[in-house]
């Protein structure tokens, strides 16, 4: 990508305010903004956020359900996945799922976030045996069954994150969950090269992930996606990834949330020596995401940027994502979620009101209600008149 000469921030801001669309070249320059110029751009991103959701920042009170940590992929930054027989390898039973959900209900949770490895049964006979024992043909069949169980037996709403999905599976899971998610992570094909983050991760081929997100769009399924920063992608890749998400959202209008997540190094992972993105890298990426997607909910996980996560409110986020009063972040277990009262304190210090939302964002609630059936009934019981969580707790 050819880069322009030194960016004139003031003139670019004037043009953006005048409605001129941002080019990829300018977007790339924005990711290189100097620390001195950054505050002006952050102020503009914050202005856009205030136009979209004035004085409100949301979060989802959730339980995390790691349905299985077996996975056929081997991403270089993953601490979650296991092979069968490795210490900690586990596939939850239906009873374990329900036990977590019941505890979550008592603590005012409204989301059951299902996170799991991608199609482990394709390479592990042990997973096929487990699924057979539970009475299911595949991990996705089991996930569907557990979403349905949660929907039927509790007041929580499921939000599955199972990896790549076909059109048929999107449709099946949409019948038992109001929203779902798949991190795009990056459109960079270079990450598939030997010794790169995705060199042994067949489900991380960018075109396949984009296809899943597009299929969800064709079916009008509220969808959460996002970028994982700092896994070997270039600044141009970050721009291209955000443009790809924006293009899909412009076509289908279904992207309910974009997450800007930072890679964190851990001693146990292959990428343990890899440099982490800086706080300023995060601020720049959030600012650019807000400029490109002024009317999409934007989230950055607070636990991965403690102690200064509140700075993200100045860059245009309007959501803290799922925060659990019960279960640890199994993807980053060494980074505890901030206590909700502390999150509320820091949010209100920035002049924002913290509001509990459901896994599906308020603006998408009417469309999900129109699907009818048990899902619509449970959603109606769970949300207030504005589409936020009815049953709130702090």
* DSSP labels, 269-310: STTTTSPPPPHHHHHHHHHHHHHH-TTSEEE--GGGSTTSGG
Number of shown-chain residues binding ligand SF4 (CB under 6 A): 12
Minimum Å gap between C-beta 75 and ligand SF4 is 3
71 belongs to the binding site for ligand SF4 (CB under 6 A): yes
Minimum Å gap between C-beta 237 and ligand SF4 is 18
Cα separation, 264 vs 272, whole angstroms: 9
- Please answer whether residues 275 and 230 qualify as being in contact, where contact means their C-beta atoms are separated by less than 8 angstroms: yes
The contact pattern for ligand SF4, residues 89-118, with x = CB under 6 A and - = no contact, is ----------------------------xx
Q: Which parts of 316-355 interact with ligand SF4 (CB under 6 A)?
A: none
Closest CA relative to residue 138, chosen from 214, 68, 86, 83 = 68
230 belongs to the binding site for ligand SF4 (CB under 6 A): no
81 belongs to the binding site for ligand SF4 (CB under 6 A): yes
Binding residue (CB under 6 A) for ligand SF4 from 97, 173, 201, 245: 201
Closest CA relative to residue 115, chosen from 170, 160, 172 = 160
66 belongs to the binding site for ligand SF4 (CB under 6 A): no
Contacts of 391 (CB under 8 A, 6+ apart): 108, 110, 155, 382
- Please answer whether residues 184 and 209 qualify as being in contact, where contact means their C-beta atoms are separated by less than 8 angstroms: yes
Please say which residue, 61 or 81, places its beta carbon nearer to ligand SF4.
Answer: 81
Minimum Å gap between C-beta 184 and ligand SF4 is 13
C-alpha R_g of the chain = 20
- Please answer whether residues 284 and 314 qualify as being in contact, where contact means their C-beta atoms are separated by less than 8 angstroms: no
Q: Which stretch binds ligand SF4 (CB under 6 A): 67-75, 98-106, 283-291, 305-313?
A: 67-75
Minimum Å gap between C-beta 161 and ligand SF4 is 9
263 belongs to the binding site for ligand SF4 (CB under 6 A): no
Closest CA relative to residue 178, chosen from 154, 156, 157 = 157
38 belongs to the binding site for ligand SF4 (CB under 6 A): no
Footprint of ligand SF4 (CB under 6 A)? 71, 73-75, 78, 80-81, 117-118, 163, 201, 203
């Amino acid at each position: 990508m050819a880069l322009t000469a030194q960016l004139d921030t003031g003139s670019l801001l004037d043009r953006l305010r005048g409605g001129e669309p941002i080019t990829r070249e300018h977007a790339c320059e924005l990711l290189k903004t100097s620390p001195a110029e950054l505050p002006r751009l952050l102020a503009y991103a914050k202005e856009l956020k205030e136009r979209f959701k004035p004085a409100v920042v949301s979060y989802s009170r959730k339980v995390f359900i790691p349905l299985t940590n077996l996975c056929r992929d081997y991403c270089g930054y993953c601490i979650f996945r296991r092979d069968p027989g490795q210490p900690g390898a586990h596939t939850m039973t239906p009873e374990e799922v329900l036990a977590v959900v019941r505890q979550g209900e008592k603590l005012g949770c409204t989301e059951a976030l299902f996170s799991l490895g991608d199609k482990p049964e394709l390479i592990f006979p042990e997973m096929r045996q487990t699924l057979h024992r539970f009475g299911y043909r595949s991990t996705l069949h089991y996930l569907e069954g557990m979403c349905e169980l949660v929907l039927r037996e509790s007041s929580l709403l499921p939000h599955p994150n199972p990896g790549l999905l076909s059109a048929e599976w999107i449709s099946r899971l949409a019948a038992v969950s109001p929203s779902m998610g798949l991190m795009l992570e990056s459109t960079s094909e270079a990450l598939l090269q030997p010794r790169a983050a995705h060199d042994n991760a067949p489900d991380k081929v960018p075109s396949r992930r984009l296809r899943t997100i597009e299929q969800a769009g064709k079916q009008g399924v509220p969808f959460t996606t996002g970028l994982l920063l700092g896994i070997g992608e270039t600044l141009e890749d970050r721009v291209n990834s955000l443009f790809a998400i924006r293009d899909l959202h412009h076509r289908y209008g279904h992207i309910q949330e974009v997450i800007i997540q930072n890679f964190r190094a851990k001693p146990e992972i292959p990428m343990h020596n890899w440099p982490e993105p800086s706080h300023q890298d995060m601020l720049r990426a959030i600012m650019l995401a807000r400029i490109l997607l002024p009317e999409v909910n934007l989230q950055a996980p607070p636990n991965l940027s403690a102690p200064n996560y509140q700075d993200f409110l100045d860059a245009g986020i309007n959501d803290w994502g799922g925060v659990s009063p019960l279960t640890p972040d199994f993807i980053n277990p060494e980074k505890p979620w901030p206590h909700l009262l502390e999150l509320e304190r820091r949010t209100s210090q920035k002049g924002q009101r913290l509001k509990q939302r459901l896994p599906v964002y308020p603006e998408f609630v009417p469309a999900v209600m129109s699907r009818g059936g048990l899902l619509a009934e449970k959603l109606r019981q769970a949300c207030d008149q504005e589409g936020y969580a009815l049953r709130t707790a702090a």
